[in-house]
Amino acid sequence: MFELNWSALIAIGVLLGVFTLAPGLIWLERRLLALWQDRYGPNRVGPFGIFQVLADMIKIFFKEDWIPPFADKFVFFIAPGIIMLTVLMSFAVIPVAPGVGVMDINVGVLFFLAMSSLGAYSVVLGGWSSNNKYSLLGGLRAASQMISYEVFMGLSLLGVVAMAGSFNLREIVNAQAGMWNIVPQFFGFVVFMVAGLAEMHRIPFDIPEAESELVAGFHSEYSGMKFGMFFVGEYVGIVLISAVITTFFLGGWHGPFLPPMVWFFLKMFVFICFFILLRASLPRPRFDQLMTWGWKLMLPLAILNLAVTGAVLVAVNQGH
């Protein structure tokens, strides 16, 4: 019974943590972007403008929640829920520190991949159900982008799995006690980071919602809290990708002097800031460039990385 209560408490803790982190992230992003673009950013509401997010949230809650009459109401309604559900479910398998984590299953990597591939439905169905040509184009782009980048997202993780000999995220973290995976699996790390960005359709890969060509892409017709769910879902997605990269490639909670949980959050925070810097500095590629780059560069790189990792592992194991 105690076991059950403990994991329930952790689950609630993770949920609350994510939901406080995501709005904080919106503020952080706006401030950091402003810093890098040589302007102030939100600085009026509260100290350093930190309550700006709160004010925006109150505003968005009271906005009219409008469903267009030409939309497919049922699908329009469930689409924003899917992204929140899948992203939050993914947090269940992430080990924050030894003994702290919601689930400890032996197919953790696959669970994460499954949830991220289900997340594609949110954007695709949102775009389809809006019954608007710009939304439809956004949804089409999202479908092909996420399907393509999913392939080598999985492939790039297989090197890590082969090194740890397990799909369990805890064992993967423990296998990195000596050396972080970012050194022997550098190409896997690069491919995974790019694929992760594309999966979360985050700038520079926010082609499904490219506002300069498609109004707002797949969420053009969304307003009020339904739009808010897409929006917050994207930020929770950034937290997720940072946490997953920390787990797979940066040794999770391992590190000297500081307690394990502090290390985990520190590494995660570095990646979150890095993703914001990417947004501040990189332009959006054209859609065909994105696809060509994915299939002709990232996929071969991921396969090569996997093959070399496998060969080295076999050679080393034969030596013993």
Residues in contact with other proteins by CB under 8 A are 72, 74-75, 105-107, 110-111, 113-114, 117-118, 120-121, 124-125, 127-128, 136, 139-140, 143-144, 146-147, 150, 154, 167
Give SS3 for 68: coil
Q: How far is the CB of 149 from other proteins (least distance, A)?
A: 12
Return the sign of the alpha-carbon dihedral for residues 228, 138, 238, 163.
Answer: positive
Min CB(304)–other proteins separation in Å: 18
Measured over the CA atoms of residue 273, residue 235, residue 26 and residue 214, the dihedral's sign is positive
Q: Characterize 93-117 residue by residue with b for buried, 16 or more Cβ atoms within 10 angstroms of its Cβ, and e for exposed.
A: bbbbbeebbbbeeeebbebbbebbb
**Minimum distance from CB of 305 to other proteins (Å)?**
19
Closer to other proteins by Cβ: residue 167 or 230: 167
In this complex, which beta carbon is closest to other proteins, that of residue 128 or of residue 180? 128
Identify whether 204 is preceded by a cis peptide bond (ω within 30 of 0): yes
| Residue 100 DSSP code | B
- Of the pair 94, 143, the CB lying nearest other proteins is at 143
Q: Tokens 């392939």 map to which residue?
A: 151
* Least distance to other proteins, CB of residue 38, Å: 41
**Min CB(147)–other proteins separation in Å:** 6
Half-sphere exposure of 192 (CA within 13 A, CB side): 32
Nearer to other proteins, 112 or 263 (CB): 112
Q: Least distance in Å: CB of 75 to other proteins? A: 7
Measured from the CB atom, the residue of 43 and 174 that comes closer to other proteins is: 174
> Residue 60 or 110: which CB sits closer to other proteins?
110
Cα distance between residue 233 and residue 200, in whole Å = 9
Give min distance, CB of 128 to other proteins, in A.
Answer: 5
**Among residues 52 and 129, whose Cβ is nearest to other proteins?**
129
Question: Minimum distance between the CB of residue 57 and other proteins, rounded to whole angstroms?
Answer: 30
Q: What is the DSSP string of 240-307?
A: HHHHHHHHHHS-TT--SSS-HHHHHHHHHHHHHHHHHHHHHHPPPPPHHHHHHHIIIIIHHHHHHHHH
3-state secondary structure of 154: helix
CB 125 within 8 A of CB 77: no
As a whole number of angstroms, the distance between CA 229 and CA 225 comes to 6
Q: Kindly calculate the radius of gyration of the chain based on its CA atoms and give it in whole angstroms.
A: 20
Nearest-10 crossing angle of helices 186-199, 299-319: 140
For other proteins, give the closer residue by CB, 49 or 101: 101
